[in-house]
Chain A
């Protein structure tokens, strides 16, 4: 009896996840998907999303790796607080993140005087899209990288130091390769989250074709006003990306 209940419950949730995704993918014939993807709106959203997510990932890797390393290695007062802060964007609703970015980096925000002097306006720009993506996605990389650094056999690092390698070379030639599966897995998850970013983007970067209209925004906009096939085709692309991400992360985890 209890077994059957467990099995039914499990099957229900699984079906609930599979059926809508499959329904979306099968809604259009492949030929229609391909032709919808060739529209300017779809092309622009694809290019913009790829460009911004790659830049966002590069920024996260550059700044997030040192942060993850410090969190894994350095003992300092308040580390658990820093840990918690790093994770915060995962649970903060994206629209709230967008509002926060707007109120700080916006034209009348906290940094407005500095930004105005430098002649920079961030809101409604592609830069704002990247900022929103970094904000919401960076924790996924930092968490994974921190765990990766924690799991390394530290005697190997000591050996490297004993053999005359400086700290930086040890880091690049010993620590990073050892933590590589975790770092890459985290990077892939981080990229996927950036790709799906919607709420903070619409709030902080707005919505303009070729400037801030990323894939998720294009799906929404085409769904309501433009073309349903374009919305569906772009959704299918995003599902394909997501499936690839899940598979890649699995591969890294297995190693």
Chain B
């Protein structure tokens, strides 16, 4: 009796193990269509709003991995499996195309604009871009490798020496940087809770929640070119057909969702 029980238990264990080893393969093939999209953190709200419409239209489920475009590009370069990459700048997309990881030419699907944000209480009394260079201002930026961090620094360099800006303006601002955050959302958060005196984010990061806690100061015209958002299907996409459909959707019907979140048309 006892040995029978033991035998049964062993058989059960072996069965479980066999199931665990074998099951994922046929199940994966029979699954309803799905794609994985690696997208810049700044696209979170727009893409999450657009995904149900895409799924409804095509029956394809979308899983997102949002992060700093540089992080995502590094993950893709290291072989992360994804179908689509949507970057917040051309530099990170170039890494992917240079590495031969993109299928076809990336397409620009949106543009975005830099804004300066300060906490509602505005502890450093900042009203414009030159104010960032005042000694002691706690500036929070995204790391230089994160697109928005790169755009912001390029804008500071561009403004240096212009009327109202000291020749060493960019260096003075850099000296005031107290943290290089890992993505744009972290910058918005640190300013909205009042930890930093000022930060640079995209206009689209001013969600209703953030808007209630910060004051938005536009960049002066010409200070920074618009941020370009390219999208591409990846060469090793597990589901390249639906990935193409998603890119087509983002360039077509999906534009409404991007516009609703403050993105500019490509």
Contact = CB atoms under 8 A, between A and B. Distances in A.
Given A107-B194, A221-B145, A223-B74, A206 B14 contact: no
B205 interface: no
A102 B179 contact: no
A5 B14 CA distance: 8
Contacts of A2: 10, 13-14
Nearest to B193: A108
A224 B70 contact: yes
Interface stretch (B32-40, B136-144, B217-225, B248-256): B136-144
Interface in B163-180: 177-180
A106 B195 contact: yes
B14 A208 contact: no
Contact of A224 (B17, B145, B181, B186): B145
A208 B177 contact: yes
Contacts of A206: 140, 178-181, 190
A242 interface: no
A1 B195 contact: no
A124 B196 CA distance: 9
Interface in B45-71: 68, 70-71
Given A2-B13, A5-B17, A225-B143, A212 B195 contact: no
Interface string B7-45: 000100110010000000000000000000000000000
Tell me the dominant secondary structure on chain B's binding face. mixed
A13 B242 CA distance: 35
A208 B180 contact: yes
Interface string B135-167: 000101001111000000000000000000000
A124 B193 contact: no
Contacts of B144: 225
A103 B193 CA distance: 9
Nearest to A9: B17
A224 B193 contact: no
A224 B68 CA distance: 9
B182 A207 contact: yes
Interface string A12-35: 000000000000000000000000
Nearest to A225: B145
A226 interface: yes
Interface residues of B, number: 28
Contacts of B196: 124
A1 B10 contact: yes
A102 B193 contact: yes
Contact of A108 (B140, B145, B195): B195
B180 A123 contact: no
A106 B14 CA distance: 54
A106 B17 CA distance: 50
Interface in B196-213: 196
Contacts of B179: 124, 205-208, 212
B155 to A, nearest CB: 18
A102 B195 CA distance: 8
B195 to A, nearest CB: 5
Most chain-B CB neighbours within 10 Å: which of A103, A124, A220, A225?
A: A225
B125 to A, nearest CB: 15
Contacts of A215: none
A103 B70 CA distance: 29
Contacts of A102: 193, 195
Contacts of B195: 102, 106-108, 123-124
A183 interface: no
A202 interface: yes
Contacts of B143: 207, 221, 224-225
Contacts of A123: 195
Nearest to A231: B74
A71 B180 CA distance: 41
A102 B143 CA distance: 20
Nearest to A213: B180
B10 A225 contact: no
Contacts of A103: 193
Contacts of B177: 208
A67 B141 CA distance: 40
A186 B42 CA distance: 43
Nearest to A125: B178
Interface of A: 1-2, 5, 102-103, 106-108, 121, 123-124, 202, 205-208, 211-212, 220-221, 223-226
18 contacts: A5-B14, A103-B193, A106-B193, A106-B194, A123-B195, A124-B195, A124-B196, A202-B182, A207-B180, A208-B177, A221-B145, A223-B74, A224-B70, A224-B71, A224-B143, A225-B70, A225-B145, A225-B146
Interface of B: 10, 13-14, 17, 68, 70-71, 73-74, 123, 138, 140, 143-146, 177-182, 186, 190, 193-196
